[in-house]
Structures are given as structure tokens and as C-alpha cells.
A and B are shown apart, each in its own frame.
Chain A
Amino acid sequence: MHHDAQAPTENEIRAVAAPLASLEGPLLPMLHAVQHEYGCVPEAAVPVLADLLNLSRAEVHGVVSFYHDFRKAPAGKHILRLCRAEACQSMGGQALAEATLARLGIGWHDTTANGAVTVEPVYCLGLCACAPAAMLDDRVVARLDAARLDRLLAEAGA
């Protein structure tokens, strides 16, 4: 991942997205590529992608804003997703999440002061049988309890 303090230019975004233009249904792959490159989908990417795919700005904005995973600003170094769906709630996920947020002193979608971890809600990771579940970056973790969550946060540097 490339973290440039400066906002990417139109040409830089174009260079990231253009190679994907020949895919079938290229908009989502392009958005993922942009987010992978910059940690978010910057507002400046909307007109660039619209032009590449001959869509309107509104259409691209509609897609970007529909998916919570596409971020407006870069997240912390790691993203911890805590499941808030029914099965996890019934197994104490809710209380665990609230306690964790309180301990970190942040709310949902926020990033710890040291920039290490952003905590996001997620609605079902498909691990209901071993709830409560979470996901740190690309790795799923099941049968969470306070201790296991602490280890995860420590690993992420929170």
C-alpha cells in the first residue's frame, strides 16, 4: 500500500485504474485497485473513473457510497472488523465490542490515536457456528473473548 501525504493526481489515479478497463464489469475492480493503492477512494477518483468508463460522476458516486468498504479517507495501519450480526450478538459480541471500543477510547469507524487500528462493524462473516467472530485485515478470527481480542489488538499495535 502506498501512503502518500499528497492527494493523488488525476493522472496517477488513471494509471492505477486504466489497465482494468477491459474487464467485464470493471468499476468495482477499479475501485478496489484505487483503494488498495491509496487506502481509500479519494473524491478525485470519481470523475476519473467516470471518464474512463464513460459513466456519469453520479453513477460512480452511487456505487462508491453504496459499499461501506470503500473509504473516504485512509484507515489506520490495520482494520479490525467486529461482527455485529445476530449470532455473534447472542454470544456476547455486542458487550465485547463495546468494552473494546471503550478501552481504546474510540467509536465505530474511528482509528486509534497512534494510527494503528481502525475498528469497523461488519454484519456476518459466515462464522456463526463459532461466534463471536472478527476479522483483522484479511484474517478471520472466531470464538472471540476479551483475552483473544486483546492479543489481536496488541499484535496490531493498538
Chain B
Amino acid sequence: MKDFIIPQFPPGSDPQDERDMGTPARSGAPVSLSIDGFAVTVPEGTSVMRAAAEAGIMVPKLCASDNMEAFGSCRLCVVEIEGRKGTPASCTTPVAEGMVVHTQSGKVKRIRKGVMELYISDHPLDCLTCAANGDCELQDAAGQVGLRDVRYAPGQNHFDPSGSGARSQAEARLRMPVDQANPRYVPKDESNPYFTFDPSKCIVCSRCVRACEEVQGTFALTIEGRGFDSKVSAGAATDDFLHSECVSCGACVQACPTATLQEKSVIEMGTPHRSVITTCAYCGVGCSFKAELNGDQLVRMVPYKHGKANRGHSCVKGRFAYGYANHRDRILKPMIRDRIDEPWREVEWDEALAFAAGRMSALQQKYGRRSIGVITSSRCTNEETYLVQKLARAVFLNNNTDTCARVCHSPTGYGLGKTFGTSAGTQDFDSVEKADVVMIIGANPTDGHPVFASRLKKRLRQGARLIVVDPRRTDIVRSPHVEAAYHLPLRPGTNVAVVTAMAHVIVTEGLVDEAFIRERCDWDEFQHYAEFVSQDRHSPETMQPLTGVPAADLRAAARLYATGGNGAIYYGLGVTEHSQGSTTVMGIANLAMLTGNVGREGVGVNPLRGQNNVQGSCDMGSFPHELPGYRHVKLPDVRKIFETAWGVEIDPEPGLRIPNMLDAAVEGTFKGLYCQGEDILQSDPDTHHVAAGLKAMECVIVHDLFLNETANYAHVFLPGSSFLEKEGTFTNAERRINRVRRVMAPLNGFEDWEVTQALANAMGANWTYTHASQIMDEIAATTPTFEGVSFALLEEKGSVQWPCNEAAPEGTPTMHVDHFVSGKGHFIVTEYLPTDEKSGPRFPLLLTTGRILSQYNVGAQTRRTANVVWHPEDVLEIHPHDAETRGVNQGDWVRLASRSGETTLRATLTDRVAPGVVYTTFHHPATQANVVTTDFSDWATNCPEYKVTAVQVSPSNGPSDWQECYNEQAERARRILPAAE
């Protein structure tokens, strides 16, 4: 069923085996025993229950599950062992050499039946009308033990609301329609939007409590009271599920053997009868899910036990927040209009494509070949992204292609490319289980990458140490059972100074791994770098006034990272989205090389990717200077490969980046844009400038699920298909290529790549792909790191991590194992240059932005789900001191102003942020936090400096002028005239 612990399969077993083996797998010396006369050999430490399961013998159980440690409370799994007294529980009894076990003796069968009878004496007999009917382990166990009768007379119980001796809740309601007469009966808790908690069906097996602790690591559940009064409680006495510490990851619902914790969708729609394994379309963790359906109706998403990124775990977004795919806001018919102040006109596909193709071609004729371009999406598949950049290069005949990774992880590509030789993270997620010291820089994994955070927390509870470098006290700094050894709360914009100061400590205190550096890295570059960081101006003490980080803490953190065993760095957009984003990435790579923390499990440099396919969209040649596989468009031999494959001549000049496209549009030289699955108006910095650029274009084609904010400036709207409606692949943060499978037909009629192909063909191309796999075949044929990848291989392996080629036919979990991909690792000097965005008298505070667990990116998906109960609006976090001097109280409306613009939102007072720093999220278009952010960007890649904006906060009465003006424009731009019948 689910296995959060890395499953280990004995040779010959089926790796896709979905049975619940009862207890986690162990690794150890082989132990042989006999179970019911069958010889079994399992690793030392394995339970008798699991050993039996390996032999195909399923011992009845209720409280055991193979994703959590054995508990031994249900007493159903008892067995007899020759030479031992009594009837031990098979889940808590480890195997021993020569052991002879009987799972079906008359004695244990009698005990199991008696135990089952007791369970059922306090359980309603409503199976036929129960939501778990057919999917209930209690029901299964009753069948297994042959329960035929319950001899206990009706007595005190938890299930009968009437207290009238009814044996089922249906009967109780007939006897007394009002739930009142039984003080032990507790009605359902329906506060969580996605699942219900019905204590009347609970058998108190503690699986939910243990799942919350061991798998998710939140500890939101407990058993309250004792004895017959024991019951599961979310949070403390006054909490319900919604108001408890529960993060709605769904692990408890999955663990529950009865209908006590049950998805509302199953209650409403019935148990699903078919399932398709696919990949979540939210963050860059790339969790594998089983989409469970009835026909084409999606009933629920359940994390897939054998998913190698998530190991059977999930978060609230992937598990529950898929309702946007069927939301009434989905646009399913193509629409066009001549001017953006006109209402939309619904048309047939042919007309829309002809209109779009005609306009784009005409623009090229009038303004030149380079006057139009594309933006690829990190939410779409590799195959779709590949086709969109191919559209620019092979049909538009220019390199005007860019991607939303421009605004998030482009510095990662640049920085890791320069130092390690590959634009990607070095590890797989399993690696965290071998880490001893984890350093998180500018990432908030419990909100942004929750499934990785759960895996990390599990490792931290085992004793790994944690360093957090972040201006905010994020949850991972301190949450139940996890506490960072050091939190370095730096001032926004001083990442390079902090990372260089850490290198100063490591070098000057002699903590470098010289053997590693001599063998793996360029020695001259190292010496130059060591001399640079050793200068006193980089010492933690000298840097302290600038960074705000106490020098003693920084020194201690650097020592811990360098000497604490396997050191692993995980970082996020708090590193990249700065004017020196690329420099910080290189500084991080330097730290890993200095300490020899590259090239094996448990170490490495790991970017936590924001969107599901950021890695893939970068790999697929979305950038204007690179063809697929990060090869420069200036290189004739690279162009030759694609010119041969595509039968066109490729422009050797790099094209425009997104900010350049917008600048050129304002200047009047860039006129047409095909934007797939990205909302640049909301997500990109300096909204005024984005709006001005879009307004100046003569043909904006938006290809999306919804009429997003960018579509307010579009002339053509092409309906998109959700991840549930198409075939393809996503590549997650660990370079893992995961299959996305079509679980239902596209609601708009076409998968996104088909629409791109139709547009290309309407512009004169002759593309003839009939399945996404053919696009992957073309990628593999042209791109060396993908050489071995095919849909057939992915079917066989489940997933592979690139590079996947002749040298690594099964992919590459850990990179740079024997040597760096580029030969030698390169140390690069990281000179700290303060950003031009400085706080001053007019704008004395520094704003940094981020996101929250329940919402995702611009919120286009999550705002259209019940997730809004957790985060209905963006709020501004401000330190109580800063609030007090401004007369701002908790919950007040405030005006947030920068040099770029202003917006209004509510304030919340918290010491999570330091004085002088404020923080907000960018999930809601009503707030438009990016009206405030500036057009400063990373020196190397133009990645915007979202994380530092000098602002002022003052009390406010209502929306800003821009908000009012924009809302009016948006309302006008969204009018739709239905097609004439």
C-alpha cells in the first residue's frame, strides 16, 4: 500500500508489488526460518509478519503498516513460534535463525476471532452504506479470521448515537433521530475541506497518529484519554482538524484502516475502480501518485508507494488540491479578438489557429524575423516545452525563447554549470537519508517542498544537524522535534557575504578537504580563491555589521558544515532571486568543493525547484542562448545536429530573454508572443513594466487553462490541458524524468503539444507527431544527456535520472562520483557587491517574498481549490517594533510602497521576521505583490531580484489606485461573447 521507508526488494520479487508488507524493510545479514512449513530467508531485523508476507502469507493485522514502525497494539497478528511461550505479535517479533512459525494454528485462530469480536462489539454494522465499503481493512480482517457472530450484548459503545442498543447507525437513527442519548458518541469532524474524521468508526489502532509522527513529522494527532475513553484527537482539546497543527498531507487518511478518516471525494463519489500512475504537477519534488478513478471521474489522488521521489508520501497540494482541473473557470473553447479592449469571441480551433498564425507571420513580414517569440512553461511537459522552443527556432527562425525559469532558477543553471559543469542538482532525494549536516539556504521546504521537508525532518529526528540561512525564522528552524543547530538570520541581499564568510572560516581554520581538492578541482583556481576568501574583509567579524549575522554563530555553523560528516546543501529561490543570485550559487558550490561534499550519497548541492518541470524546461533548450542539453546556439556543430533533424537553418544569434522581450516591446521592436502556461503579468517583477510591454504587442497568444492575468492583454486564447489530460514527462529537482500519464481525455480536445503542433503547421511547418513519445525520441536523438531515454525505458524503470546514456543506461542518481562532469571542479571568486536596491529614509524596510504551504505560485491552481480556507489572501508579515512605530495593528490594512509601485494588503505582526524586514506571498492577483518589486536582476542571468525590495509600510484605508485601475481593466478584458450558433 505505501512505504515511506526505502523499500528493498529481494531478487526476483516484483518491484511494483503494492501489498502492505506490515512492517518496514530492513537491511542486514540473511536469516532463514520456516513459516507454515515454507522456508523463508530475510534480512536480520525483519519482523515475522514481513517475513511471512515475503513468502506470500498475509497474517491478519490492523495496527501495522509497512510505512511505519511496528506498534503491537491490535493483537490480531499473533502467531505461535515453536519453543517459545505464548502467542507473540508477529509485527513486533524479529526473525531468528531456524525459527519455526505457525500462523494458522487452532490456538491463534481462536485468539484472532476473539479479538475481532471485541473490535466489532464497538463498531457499527453499517458496512453496506459505509464510504469504505470494499476498501476497509477491518472488513478484510473480519473476513480473514472468519468472524461469524458477535456474542456481546449491546452495551456501552461509541457508535450508537441513540444509546438505544442499536447495532448500526442506520438502526439508531430510526430509533432516535437526534444524536443525543449516548455521551460517548462523538459526531463527525468535517472541518477539513478534504476529509472527514468519524470517531464512531475508530478502532484506536493509532495508525493515523503514527503516520503523522513518523511519515509526515508534524505530530498533529494524539490519543486522548485512556482505556475505553481513548480517542484520536487532532491538536488539543479545543481544536478540530482544521484548527489543529494538521497540514492536511493526507498520510493519516491513507493510513486509516477504516472509514474513520475518509476523503470527502470518496464519500461523495464511491470507491474508485481503476488507477493510473502519474506525476504531480505542483512543485519540483515531482511526487508519484496513483490517480484513482471511476471511468473518467477522478475520485482521489493517492501517493504511489514506489514513487522514487516521494516514497509514498504527499502534501496537501498533490493529494487534494486537484479540483482546479475541473473548475468552472476553465476555458475550453479557443477565443480571439482584434484589440484587447474588445470582448473575447469564441471560435473554432481552425479559425483561432489561422488567426494566430496569420498575425504572427504578418508581424514577421512587417517588423522582421526577430520581432516575435515564445515563452515556454515549467508547468508543461518536457515534450511540450521542447516543441515550443522548436516553434521559435524552426518556424519563427529565431532564438526568442525563454521560460519562467528565468525568474526562478536561471542562476542555478549558470552557477552550477560554471563550477561543476552541469546545470543541475547533484543528488537524488533519497540522499538526505545519509546526510549528517544539512544546510538550508534561502528555502522554506515545509511550505514550498513539503514532501522533501518530511523526509528531511525524519533524518533530523534521527540525529542529523541542521543549519538554516534565512532572513525569516521559517518553520524548519524550530518545529516539534526539529530544531536547527544554527539559524543565521541574514539581512536580505547579503547571501554572498555570508557564504564567502563561511568559506573564510573553512579556509583560515584549516578545515578544507585538501585531498579532494587536489584530486578533483583545479588547484591553481583553488589557491587563488583561498587567498581571496582569507582576506580579513571576508571574516565573519568584519561582515557582521553588514549581514546582521552574529560572527560566532557563523563560525560555528561553518565548522559544523565542514566537520560534521556528510554535509548536504539545499537551497531555493532565496539564493537565486537576487542581483547576485548566480554568485551565491557559485559560492555554495565552492563550499561543497572546499569540504569534499560532492560525489557521493548524503552530500551535494541541491536546488529545490519551484515548479514541477523547471529542471525539464531548462533542459529542453528553453533559454534563448541554448539548444536542448545546455549547448550554446553559437556552436556550429550543435546547430548542425538540430538543423539536420529539423531541416531548417538555425539562427546563430542568441535571442531575447523575457525582460528583453518586454523592453523591446515597449521600444516597438518586439510585437508578437506565444506564451504557454505562464502568467507573466502576475509572476514577473515590476508589473507596470510587464503590462506596458504586453500592451505594446500586436499579437499575444496565451495558451493556458484559465483566463490568467496575462490574458487580459492577449489577442488569442488557446485552451490548455491539465496534467491529468496528457501524456509526457516532467523532470524534477533531482533530474528524475517521471512519466505523466493521461488519466482522462483532454477537456478542450487536445493535449498542449498538439496545439503547439497545429500552430506550427498553420504557420507552414509540417510536423507529424502523433504521440508525445515521438517527441521524446527526437529529444533523445539530439541531446546526449537524454540519449537513452524513451517512454519504453520509463515504463520499465518507473523513472530515470539524467544523464541517461550509454555510459549510464539506467540513469545517474548521484553526479560527479569519480570526477566532475567538466573534468575539474572550478572555484570561482565571489566578490560581494551590494544590490543597488537599498533601504533609505523614504523606503526604510526590506521586503522579501515567498510562498505558503497551501498555495502555489500565482495561485492559478490552488486559488481554485478548497485550499483557500488556509490562505484566503496575501498578508504582510511585519515585526511588532516596526508595526508599532507606524501605528499598524494586527490585521490592519496597510499600504506597501516601493520605488516601483504600491499595493495594499493586511498586516500580521510576528517576530518571525527581524526588525527592518517585511515579508509577503504572491499568490493572489488582488494583491499583486509584484507591483512593488523592481526590475533589478541577477547580473548573469537576469533572474529578478524578488527577494529584496526597499519599501515603506503605512496604514491604509483601501486598494491602491493601481489595484482599482487594474481591476477595472481586467474586468473589461475578460468579457466573452459566445460563438454565434
Which A residues form the contact surface with B (CB < 8 A)?
Answer: 43, 46-47, 50, 54-62, 65-66, 72
Contact = CB atoms under 8 A, between A and B. Distances in A.
A58 B221 contact: yes
Contacts of B225: 65-66
Given A58-B219, A58-B234, A66-B225, 20 more contacts: A43-B236, A43-B238, A54-B478, A54-B483, A55-B481, A56-B222, A58-B222, A58-B236, A58-B245, A59-B222, A60-B236, A61-B222, A61-B236, A61-B237, A62-B222, A62-B233, A65-B224, A65-B225, A66-B226, A72-B237
A54 B238 CA distance: 20
Interface in B434-479: 478-479
Contacts of B222: 56, 58-59, 61-62
A65 B220 contact: no
Contacts of B478: 54
B480 interface: yes
B219 A55 contact: yes
Contacts of A50: 480
B784 interface: no
Closest 5 CB pairs of A and B: A62-B222, A56-B219, A61-B236, A58-B222, A56-B480
Contacts of B479: 54
A10 B236 CA distance: 16
A58 B232 CA distance: 10
B481 to A, nearest CB: 7
B223 interface: yes
B891 to A, nearest CB: 20
B338 interface: no
A58 B235 CA distance: 4
Given A43-B237, A46-B236, A57-B245, A62 B480 contact: no
Given A50-B480, A57-B236, A57-B245, A62 B218 contact: no
B219 A59 contact: yes
Interface of A is mostly: helix
Interface of B: 218-226, 233-239, 244-245, 478-483
B246 to A, nearest CB: 9
Nearest to A47: B236
Nearest to B481: A54
B480 A61 contact: no
A58 to B, nearest CB: 4
A61 B245 contact: no
A58 B220 contact: yes
Contacts of A55: 219, 480-481
B911 to A, nearest CB: 13
Contacts of B481: 54-55
A85 to B, nearest CB: 15
A29 B245 CA distance: 25
Contacts of B233: 58, 61-62, 65
A56 B218 contact: yes
B223 A62 contact: yes
Contact of B245 (A56, A62, A72): A56
B890 to A, nearest CB: 16
A57 B224 CA distance: 12
6 contacts: A46-B236, A54-B483, A56-B222, A56-B235, A62-B222, A66-B226
A46 B479 CA distance: 15
Nearest to B231: A65
A59 B224 contact: no
Nearest to B483: A54
A60 B239 CA distance: 13
B483 A57 contact: no
A48 to B, nearest CB: 11
Contacts of A62: 222-224, 233
Contacts of A65: 224-226, 233, 237
Nearest to A72: B237
Nearest to A57: B236
Given A61-B222, A66-B225, A54 B235 contact: no
A66 B224 CA distance: 6
A57 B244 contact: yes
With a 10 A CB-CB cut-off, give which of A55, A58, A62 has the most chain B CB atoms: A58
A69 to B, nearest CB: 12
B210 to A, nearest CB: 13
B480 A54 contact: yes
A60 B235 CA distance: 9
B482 to A, nearest CB: 8
Contacts of B219: 55-56, 58-59
Nearest to B221: A58
A54 B480 CA distance: 5
Nearest to B218: A56
A57 B222 CA distance: 9
B223 A57 contact: no
A108 to B, nearest CB: 14
A74 to B, nearest CB: 17
A58 B237 contact: no
B675 to A, nearest CB: 44
A44 to B, nearest CB: 10
A91 B522 CA distance: 89
B910 to A, nearest CB: 14
Nearest to A56: B219
A22 to B, nearest CB: 15
A61 B239 CA distance: 11
Nearest to B224: A65
Nearest to B234: A58
Contacts of A72: 237
A61 B482 CA distance: 19
A1 to B, nearest CB: 23
A47 B245 CA distance: 11
A10 to B, nearest CB: 14
B480 A59 contact: yes
B211 to A, nearest CB: 13
Contacts of B483: 54
A62 B218 CA distance: 15
Contacts of A60: 236
Contacts of A57: 235-236, 239, 244-245
With a 10 A CB-CB cut-off, give which of A46, A47, A65, A66 has the most chain B CB atoms: A65
A9 to B, nearest CB: 17
A55 B222 CA distance: 12
A41 to B, nearest CB: 11
B218 A61 contact: no
Contacts of A59: 219, 222, 480
Contacts of B238: 43
B1 to A, nearest CB: 24
A143 B222 CA distance: 40
A112 B244 CA distance: 36
Contact of A56 (B220, B223, B224, B226): B220
Contacts of B239: 57
A104 B233 CA distance: 35
Nearest to B220: A58
A72 B483 CA distance: 31
A47 B238 CA distance: 11
A72 B236 CA distance: 12
A130 B244 CA distance: 48
Contacts of A47: 236
A49 to B, nearest CB: 10
Contacts of B223: 62
A64 B234 CA distance: 14
Nearest to B223: A62
A62 B231 CA distance: 10
B235 to A, nearest CB: 5
A61 B235 contact: yes
Nearest to A65: B224
Contact of A58 (B226, B244, B482): B244
Contacts of B221: 58
Contacts of B245: 56-58
A144 B482 CA distance: 52
A65 to B, nearest CB: 4
Nearest to A45: B236
B220 A61 contact: no
A36 to B, nearest CB: 21
